Structure 1
Amino acid sequence: MSSPAPKSPEQSDKSRKYDRQIRLWGEHGQSLLESSTICLLNATALGCEVLKSLVLPGIGGFTIVDGNVVTEDDLGINFFLDASFLGQSKARACMQLLQELNTDVNGDFVDESVDWILSNRPAFFDTFDVVIASNLNEKALWGLSDRLWEANIPFIYCRSLGFFGSIRLQIKEHCVIESHPDNRQYDLRLEQPFPALQKHFESTEITSKVPWLLVLNKFLQVWRQKYGGHFPANYKQKSELKEMIRAAMTADEENYEEAIKAVNTALGGGNVPSSIKSIFQDNACTNLNKQSSPFWIITKALKEFVENDNNGLLPLPGVLPDMTADTEPYITLQNIYRQQALHDADNVYRKCQKYLKELGLPEDTISEKTVRLFCKEAAGLAVLRGTKISDENAKSSNILSFVDDLEIQGTLAEHYVALRAYERFVSECGNVPGECYVENDVKELKTVASKMLSDWGVHASISDDLIHEICRYGGSEIHSISAFIGGCVAQEVIKIVTKQYKPIDNTFLYNAITSETTTFKL
């Protein structure tokens, strides 16, 4: 019998444990996740589902704030509670059971209400990376929104009510380097080859064993000679280039086939997209100060590099797609791109050091590794600036544009208003609509919703069916809805703490009755 294979020295136990997610956000993303702490306000079924989806991938720590005890109603909707916890602290019980999912995660709890924390310990929230809340009345929501906005702490408010769910992200500014675009274009620089690449093109013989990039470049030059130095710019011209390559094939040559397939996607790399131009023009980029984040300092250096040193092109990422070729010519080509990418990144890094010196900031504020990643991902940079939840309390142009239609009935705009009215009802009446008397609360909730719309200057109404549906739920959660919304919220938290992928901007609504979702910005 053969001996078992030895453990790979390159992969730790933790790397094996989190292997699948590390493939999504890398070791550096996992490190950020493991160093983050989250605060959950109210241990509802939704809140526990959010934490479950953060504890399993290894969030650094979490604290549950809830002043209630476990009741019979909790047992029917929250899978993280059982009868043995009846009458005990809900925060403690949920913390204990959630922590069992992953011993790497630190859990804590506070047996106090959100209102008490806001009134007596407002600085309590300042140590967390993200605060998540559910099941708040309007007064507590506005107070929490103001406090977290002032402290510049990302805040996610989520709801799960019957068959309806929502997520609202409040964040002042969120800068993303690794946005992971769905349709990523490789930057091959065929239109403007850098000197090392041009030399390689000129000195390499085209055979069936070289990467398709060289094949495409050869015929691209032939096409340009025919058409006065221009590059193919439309479908017809690119089709003609494809036919030119196909006509030159003498056998079943895979690199020629790959070159034909790549014609539509291999051109145009390195150009600055409009989204990046707007970031370059942002006031935070043009006017640096001592409080500027590393993101904006690197962006300023990147802008200078593009405009003054690189003919208006972004730094070369240095990444090549897979190509059918012999190993040696492919690795040679790969090294040429990598060396140029390092050269560009080093140029940007030197400019960063210049700005740090001008601002009187330490040299180690920005590392070479960070700049190299920044340059590699330069085409997909993103900046999100949010709005404050409490500003929705006043007449807002964003809200008006969302519910501007005189007939909002039957749309998710109607559900947004109904959920807002639900929270105002709880604040004004002191109980959940439908908790005791459904029919009486239907009339009161409709009055609250009508007044809210009137305050916004919107001449519309909420359907009686939706008002009755809200009251019929009596504030209850359906676990499948809470699980779905909880997974979505956890996904947004991971985006924020790893600074990868673009989070929602800034509101998400879900109607499980019609399986309808929408996102919009308030």
Structure 2
Amino acid sequence: MVSEDLKTKKYDRQLRLWGNEGQTCLESSSICLLNASVTGTEILKNLVLAGIGSFTIIDDKPIMDDDIYNNFMINLPPKNTTSDKNNLDLKGSIIVKNLLELNPYVKGSHINKGIESILEEKNIGSLDCFDLIIASHINDNELSILSNFTWEHKIPFIHCESFGFFGFMKISFDEMAIIDTHPENSIPDLRIIRPFPEFQEYLESIDFSAMNKNQLKKYPYIIILAKLWRAYLSRRQNSENMSEDDNGDASHETVKIFSSNLDRHRKNEFATYVKQYFERYKKVITPSADEFGLTSEAEHDWSDMVNECVKATNTCLIDETKIPQNVEEILKDRKCGLEYLSRKTVNLVRHETETLSQTGIKNVEGPNAEKGASLSSREYHRDNYKFWCLAYTLKLFIDKYGKLPLRGILPDMNCDTEIYVEILTLFRRRFAEECLQFKEIWEREVLEILDTSSPSAEIGCSSSLKIHITDQEIELFCKNCHFLRVVRGLPAENEVSALFDSMLSPLPDQEISENVSALSPKDLSLIYCLIRCYSKFASEIKEQPIVAYKGGANEMRNIKTLKECVRNFVEDRCSPGQAQELRELIDAERTEALMKEMLKHYESLELITTCSFLGGIASQQCVKVLTRQYVPFKGTFIYSGIDGSNAQFS
């Protein structure tokens, strides 16, 4: 683990992306690479530079000539020409040595075993200690075994293959619960419609009618819009003969009616009201700009402020009681309920009971007692247990208070610094108060019930140790509760139905020729099938078709064999209604042109340019999975280095 000061200096740029929490997750992660291919090495290289905790390469192959030419992490001449088999340099060990030079804070190891040995029933359990498994150069049988194992043990699994200028990446995971999704165009939580009491008191202390332009433009648009919204509601209330409160402001019922119907028409109407207000203000409050010594630059600042307020009516005017659809789906999930959490609590405590009995430990003592022993349990982490506890608490919070917790974050605004700090302080204080309210619900209405359902007495320790959630975790959850996401995937061996649908889509209007240029998603889905059939194809021809791309009998024989492999691959996985159309597609002239392009690269399977690109894409997804930040894609990504085209099927 890297010290905090050194971490800040070494990983400064990436800390701005995923923060200390994400970096800590990376530093505690353990990665396994099955088969040291060029693509797999490129993925590991990027992860090592990012600062993962450790990695293990499982490969028993010696260095060959192609490895020297294509793999940047291998810089030794091959010794496979010698008759002394003990003098061969193992590819995995050389790659580990060179990768560790990139980052001295990462640990790496090499296991000199073939993948077929690791996947035996007596050995495959050793893979359960990894947080992520990456594999390449595997056949269908090995993929099936790995897919079943990783799915059963809830280990994220990435399968990458490259073939000449083509390649694909398939990512598989059971469930990914993401708190910090880093939304690109998030709507700020400004509480303009329904200000909290302290903010409402601050708004009432401000009187725009006694201000000139210079004074008014010191205030951010959040203040201006919040006050104008109340004035707008009062105006609509009077025009429609609706009731007012004791102070002459819009009543609570009026606020509720108008806030629940914030459609485009209502926002446009309010934006028009804001424009008219500023026009009246300029004429009535400030009849002459020279009177207050306003320069042309000050007039420009005034116009900017008006435009900013009008623009914000579309982006910041939201009903705080409306729950985002992504959050609503999570709250309706079967896991977001007391029945599931109680049952899961029992299973986790029993699992730990068995672990402690096997190790001879009867109690949890020392500095780790406060953290709770089960926090280190991989099953605890893989089941997203803590996330669902927080999600259920959020459901109870909404039932009690009618809205999500305040985020406590303000966007940048053009205003006076002191005023901005005052408003930010109000929001941060309110955020801290609502975090305490959230914590109170967690402790009194969730934790106590889960405690009573936990058979913790069997291991002689408090069950609250099993479900320990820190204040920092509660703050992080409340800050991001508007953007929660749960992504569920499929096992790696399951073919995506969208891929076969793409294969049957109409071809674009283009001339079919021997030179494969611009590739459509349909072409890319065919290429995926061709790559998947490579191992079967290679085993059937028994020899390398060195002259396959030069025409003649060898080429026709190999194309015929490859077609048969693809046909069997597709028919085993597609629906009965798709079979006949897919057979016709495989026999089409366009498909044959793609096969000829594939056979050109039979001798040099991996090109460093293709592998580097795929490695970059895959390592990004690995970081998302390991840090539990951002939203990883699920399914299959296919890439062509000929024209840079790509397609994603999920």
Give the drift of 1:510.
1.3
User: Based on CA coordinates, which of the two structures has the bigger radius of gyration?
Assistant: 2
Call closer, same or farther: CA 1:515–1:434 in 2, change over 3 Å.
Answer: farther
| In 2, Cα distance between equivalents of 1:378 and 1:140 | 40
Q: Which amino acid aligns with 2:464?
A: P
| In 2, Cα distance between equivalents of 1:415 and 1:442 | 18
Give the drift of 1:280.
0.7
Give the drift of 1:268.
0.9
* Correspondences of 1:315-464 after superposition (within 5 Å): 315-353=405-443, 354-360=445-451, 361-362=463-464, 365-392=468-495, 400-405=500-505, 411-427=520-536, 429-430=538-539, 435-436=544-545, 438=548, 439=555, 440-455=557-572, 456=574, 457=576, 458=578, 459-460=581-582, 461-462=585-586, 463-464=591-592
Residue number among 387, 411, 423 corresponding to 1:295 in the alignment:
387
Residue number among 477, 485, 498 corresponding to 2:614 in the alignment:
485
| In 2, Cα distance between equivalents of 1:180 and 1:401 | 32
Residue number among 149, 166, 170 corresponding to 1:147 in the alignment:
149
Q: Which amino acid aligns with 1:344?
A: E
User: TM-score, normalized by length of structure 2?
Assistant: 0.74
* Correspondences of 1:205-216 after superposition (within 5 Å): 205-206=207-208, 207-216=216-225
| In 2, Cα distance between equivalents of 1:415 and 1:323 | 46
State the SS of the aligned residue for 1:485. helix
Is the Cα–Cα contact under 8 Å of residues 186 and 319 in structure 1 kept in the other structure? yes
Is the Cα–Cα contact under 8 Å of residues 166 and 527 in structure 2 kept in the other structure? no
Is the Cα–Cα contact under 8 Å of residues 45 and 477 in structure 1 kept in the other structure? yes
Q: Which residue of 2 aligns with 1:5?
A: none
Q: Which residue of 2 aligns with 1:30?
A: 23
Is the Cα–Cα contact under 8 Å of residues 54 and 490 in structure 1 kept in the other structure? yes
Give the drift of 1:429.
4.9
State the SS of the aligned residue for 1:185. coil
Is the Cα–Cα contact under 8 Å of residues 208 and 256 in structure 1 kept in the other structure? no
| In 1, Cα distance between equivalents of 2:621 and 2:538 | 33
Give the drift of 1:32.
0.7
Q: Which residue of 1 aligns with 2:326?
A: 275
Q: Which shifted more, 371-380 or 208-217?
A: 208-217
Is the Cα–Cα contact under 8 Å of residues 255 and 323 in structure 1 kept in the other structure? no
Give the drift of 1:14.
2.0
| In 2, Cα distance between equivalents of 1:89 and 1:269 | 62
* Identical columns (%): 31
Call closer, same or farther: CA 1:420–1:94 in 2, change over 3 Å.
Answer: same
Q: Which residue of 2 aligns with 1:68?
A: 61
Give the drift of 1:123.
1.3
| In 2, Cα distance between equivalents of 1:482 and 1:76 | 13
Q: Which amino acid aligns with 1:452?
A: F
Q: Which amino acid aligns with 1:243?
A: K
State the SS of the aligned residue for 2:314. coil
Give the drift of 1:342.
1.6
| In 2, Cα distance between equivalents of 1:105 and 1:334 | 40
Q: Which residue of 2 aligns with 1:42?
A: 35
State the SS of the aligned residue for 1:518. strand
Q: CA RMSD in A?
A: 2.4
Residue number among 582, 585, 600 corresponding to 1:472 in the alignment:
600
Call closer, same or farther: CA 1:471–1:432 in 2, change over 3 Å.
Answer: farther
| In 1, Cα distance between equivalents of 2:497 and 2:13 | 43
| In 2, Cα distance between equivalents of 1:403 and 1:347 | 53
Is the Cα–Cα contact under 8 Å of residues 421 and 452 in structure 1 kept in the other structure? no
| In 1, Cα distance between equivalents of 2:4 and 2:491 | 43
Is the Cα–Cα contact under 8 Å of residues 185 and 269 in structure 1 kept in the other structure? no
| 1:305-331 CA distance string (max 9 Å, x none) | 11x2222x2111010112233333222
Give the drift of 1:223.
2.0
Call closer, same or farther: CA 1:346–1:467 in 2, change over 3 Å.
Answer: same
Give the drift of 1:269.
5.5
State the SS of the aligned residue for 1:391. coil
User: Unpaired segments of 5 or more residues in structure 2?
Assistant: 80-87, 209-215, 238-253, 290-298, 349-382, 452-462, 513-518, 549-554
Q: Which residue of 2 aligns with 1:83?
A: 76
Call closer, same or farther: CA 1:11–1:367 in 2, change over 3 Å.
Answer: closer
Tell whether 2:228 aligns with 1:219: yes
Is the Cα–Cα contact under 8 Å of residues 298 and 348 in structure 1 kept in the other structure? no
